[in-house]
């Protein structure tokens, strides 16, 4: 038995980009080779410790401990060659491009068929998203794959799981296994020593400027509450009324400590996001989280929700936290980190995958 695993693989520098480009052309010509080295023993020592590459590394290490495993990047132009007792676990080609097939699409009708053909992907069911991400085109492309799959591991969080039965893709449910994202809390140490005084607290956003991420909503909130500090880290054009602290960069503990001196809350204004790890990382660091339910997380004792459909209520939530008692904020922050350590673990994430693939 062999496992075939398809997910995202990072590119190392300019030389890596050139090699990848050349190898993809060779693959299109029928040459089956890898642009990142050994498929069975890839060098992951230099990989960034962030999504999606941390997910690739964790899953590969787990399934390869049970059976010989080959790794593929999701946009390679190669077909897996199966034996009848093999297992396939693959992410569809992403981001969606019409007519573009990756390993998963090219392998799904191969013969002999593997014993288990499983798909894995972050998912939401908002078909109104038009940006180049999980959009209607991507969901329709996955819809064509699902009838040929045995399992669909759906990374989405409770909110989107609850929405799925009334979505256009409710017929996927018999094959779906819900996964919640995970982080290693040890890699995101507690950095919160104290909060700024009421009226002096800041709101932080991490992510790109993208309508899917709800950055227009974020800007509207910042304009309404311009007397408070608003900052963000990420790529894309400027967000009105929100000060960019940095473009994409490694969020080292030292850097995050400096950010935490001025910013007290993490804000996720997404319109459609399958429980992003930035929320879990922020909870681990000690930032109370304010997010939309569409980020994948409902309001709890340790998370506060804001709402695209209720701007005034959202402003009130932000004001209440701005002037909240420090002890209340500390209690929220401590509980949030405990939840990350207890519930959003790689042991649970990987265990769910291995159990359903019969790799225990």
Extended beta strands in the chain, E state: 3-7, 69-73, 87-90, 116-122, 151-155, 176-179, 202-206, 229-233, 243-246, 265-268, 289-291, 303-305
Alpha-carbon radius of gyration of the chain: 21
Same domain, 227 and 335: yes
Query: What CATH code is carried by the domain that includes residue 321?
Result: 3.40.50.2000
Same domain, 230 and 129: no
Q: Beta strands 243-246 and 229-233: pairing type?
A: parallel
Q: What is the DSSP string of 76-115?
A: --------TT-EEEEPPPSS--TT---HHHHHTT-SSPPS
**Cα(285)–Cα(256) distance, integer angstroms:** 8
Q: Specify the pLDDT at position 115.
A: 97
Q: What is the largest CA-CA distance in the chain?
A: 65
Q: Specify the pLDDT at position 249.
A: 86
Count how many domains the chain has: 2
Same domain, 51 and 39: yes
CA distances to 57, 180, 260 from 203, in Å: 32, 25, 10
Tens digit of pLDDT at every position of the chain (360 positions): 999 999 999 999 999 999 999 999 999 999 989 999 999 999 999 999 888 999 999 999 999 999 999 999 999 999 999 999 999 999 999 987 777 899 999 999 899 999 999 999 999 999 999 888 899 999 999 999 999 999 999 999 999 999 999 999 999 999 999 999 999 999 999 999 899 999 999 999 999 999 899 999 999 999 999 999 999 999 999 999 999 999 988 889 999 999 999 999 999 999 999 999 999 999 999 999 999 999 999 999 999 999 999 999 999 999 999 999 999 999 999 999 999 999 999 999 999 999 999 997
* Count, residues in the chain: 360
Which helix or strand (DSSP H or E) is residue 247 part of? Answer: none
Same domain, 107 and 81: yes
Q: Specify the pLDDT at position 12.
A: 93
**Cα(91)–Cα(111) distance, integer angstroms:** 19
Please answer whether residues 257 and 348 qualify as being in contact, where contact means their C-beta atoms are separated by less than 8 angstroms: no
Same domain, 76 and 216: no
Token digits for 303? Answer: 């998370």
CA distances to 104, 220, 324 from 72, in Å: 9, 42, 49
Token digits for 115? Answer: 């014993």
**Cα(115)–Cα(103) distance, integer angstroms:** 17
Please answer whether residues 59 and 112 qualify as being in contact, where contact means their C-beta atoms are separated by less than 8 angstroms: no
Cα separation of the two ends of the chain: 14
Same domain, 173 and 78: yes
Please answer whether residues 192 and 263 qualify as being in contact, where contact means their C-beta atoms are separated by less than 8 angstroms: no
Q: 317-340 burial by CB neighbour count: b if 16+ within 10 A, else e?
A: bbeebbebeeeebeebbebbbebb
Please answer whether residues 62 and 353 qualify as being in contact, where contact means their C-beta atoms are separated by less than 8 angstroms: yes
Nearest to 159 by CA among 275, 325, 254: 275
Same domain, 159 and 10: yes
Residue that is written with structure tokens 């930032």 in the block = 287
Phi–psi pair at 60, nearest 5 degrees: -60, -45
Same domain, 109 and 219: no
Token digits for 209? Answer: 């400027």
Report DSSP state, residue 212: G
> Strands across the sheet with 265-268, in order?
243-246, 229-233, 202-206, 265-268, 289-291, 303-305
Around Cβ 1, how many Cβ atoms within 10 Å?
Answer: 13
Same domain, 178 and 260: no
Same domain, 309 and 170: no
**Cα(119)–Cα(143) distance, integer angstroms:** 11
Query: What range does the domain containing 81 cover?
Result: 3-182+345-357
Q: What is the 3-state secondary structure (H, E, C) of 323-338?
A: CCCHHHHHHHHHHHHH
Same domain, 45 and 82: yes
Same domain, 318 and 338: yes
């Amino acid at each position: 038995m062999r496992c075939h695993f398809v997910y995202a693989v990072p590119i190392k520098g300019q030389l890596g980009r050139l090699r990848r480009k050349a190898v993809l052309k060779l693959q299109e010509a029928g040459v089956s080779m890898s642009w990142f080295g050994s498929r069975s023993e890839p060098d992951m020592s230099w990989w960034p410790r962030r999504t999606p590459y941390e997910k690739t590394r964790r899953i590969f290490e787990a399934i390869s401990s049970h059976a010989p495993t080959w790794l593929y990047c999701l946009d390679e132009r190669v077909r897996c060659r199966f034996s009848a007792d093999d297992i396939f676990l693959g992410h569809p080609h992403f981001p969606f491009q019409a007519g573009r097939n990756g390993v998963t699409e090219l392998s799904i009708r191969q013969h002999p068929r593997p014993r288990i053909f499983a798909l894995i992907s972050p998912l939401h069911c908002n078909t109104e998203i038009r940006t180049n991400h999980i959009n209607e085109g991507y969901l329709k492309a996955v819809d064509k794959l699902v009838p040929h799959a045995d399992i669909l591991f759906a990374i989405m969080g409770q909110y989107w799981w609850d929405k799925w039965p009334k979505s256009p893709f409710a017929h996927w449910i018999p094959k779906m296994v819900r996964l919640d994202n995970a982080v290693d809390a040890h890699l995101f140490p507690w950095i919160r020593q104290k909060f700024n005084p009421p009226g002096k607290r800041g709101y932080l956003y991490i992510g790109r400027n993208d309508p899917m991420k709800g950055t227009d909503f974020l800007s509207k909130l910042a304009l309404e509450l311009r007397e408070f500090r608003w900052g963000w880290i990420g790529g894309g054009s400027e967000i009105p009324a929100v000060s960019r602290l940095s473009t994409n960069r490694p969020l080292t503990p030292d850097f995050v400590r400096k950010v935490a001196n001025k910013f007290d809350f993490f804000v996720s204004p997404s319109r459609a996001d399958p429980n992003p790890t930035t929320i879990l990382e922020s909870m681990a660091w000690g930032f109370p989280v304010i997010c939309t339910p569409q980020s994948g997380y409902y309001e709890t004792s340790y998370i506060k929700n804001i709402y695209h459909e209720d701007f005034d209520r959202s402003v009130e939530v932000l004001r209440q936290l701005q002037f909240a008692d420090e002890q209340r904020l500390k209690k929220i922050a401590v509980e949030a980190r405990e939840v990350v350590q207890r519930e959003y673990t790689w042991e649970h994430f990987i265990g769910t995958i291995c159990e359903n693939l019969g790799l225990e």
